[in-house]
Each structure stands twice: as C-alpha cells, then as structure tokens.
Amino acid sequence: MSEKEKMLAGELYDANYNEDLIKERYIVKDKCFEYNNLKPSKLEDRMRLIKKILGSTKENFLIEQPFICDYGYNIKIGENFYSNHNLIILDANKVEFGDNVFIGPNCGFYTAGHPLDSERRNKGLEYAKPIKVGNNVWFGGNVVVLPSVTIGDNVVIGAGSIVTKDIPSNSVAAGNPCKVIKTI
C-alpha cells in the first residue's frame, strides 16, 4: 500500500519523507500562493484558480483570501459556500461541506493527527481522518475542527470553539471542547 493510500485510508503514513506527497503539497501550495496574491477585485481569475485547487465545487461560492490547504483534491464544497479570511484546511483526508455553509475568519479544519507515543511521532508518522459538515452550518470566527468530526445540518458553532467530537443536527454548540448548548 502506498503512503497516499494509507493516508486516505486513515492509517499511519509518512508525510514528511514521501516524495510523491511532498510534490503534491508543493503543487497546491504554489497554486494557493498564486490565489492569495491575486488582487481581490480579480474575482473571475480567483474563481478560475480556486476551482483548480479544490476537488469539487458547486457554482455559487466564495473563499476570501488568504486560503491555505495541503492537497486541495480532498476538499468538496457545496452550493452557496462562503469563507471569510484565513481559512486553513489540512486535507490529508476528505473534507466535505454541504450547501449554505458560512465560515468566519481564522478557521481551521484539520484532518491530520499524530501518534501519542513519541517514538512513532518522531519518525514523522501521522494519520488523517475525514471531516464532514452538513447543510446550513455557520462557524463563528476562530473555530478549529479536528479529525473524524461530523457536523450535522442546521448547526451553529460559536466563535473560538474547538470541535473534537461530532455535533448533531439542529444544534448550537460552543466551547473548548465544543459542546451542544442549545437545540434549534
């Protein structure tokens, strides 16, 4: 099994010394650099380039600059998607967003994690687990979503939250760790 296959299967893999994965990351990071340095008013150029970065998009969306990701091809966004400035998606595994998702500034979605034992971690091994976000979800600013999290439909995640566990549909959730505080 290749390191990329291990990565996508959620198994421990070597991201730091695998030439194929390193090359893929440099390709997309160069595209992100280009995207982030386009004039904000060049919306058509921005849209053309971001569609080359992401794995799947619908027609109506906007990602404000700057935007950073690891691979791009693992990111799927739905219709009417909006992200404010400084979105970071570490997409070593799938990150899927439904329709009508709004993301505040300085948010991060991290599929990557590292072993707790230092021997394996110091060898550069890591794992990646998917993140899935439903429809009609709003993230306040400075939210971090960690690996293996699923967020249901009709959810509001309060600013500054760190989402470590699944959040059910029709919820308002906030905190560190993020917990449901109200049902909608």
Q: Catalytic residue positions? A: 114
What is the DSSP code string of the chain? --HHHHHHHT--EE-SS-HHHHHHHHHHHHHHHHHHTS-TT-HHHHHHHHHHHSSB--SSEEEPSPEEES-STTEE--TTEEE-S-EEEE-SS-EEE-SSEEE-SS-EEE-EE--SSHHHHHTTEEEE--EEE-SSEEE-TT-EE-TT-EE-SSEEE-TT-EE-S-B-SSEEEETTTTEEEEE-
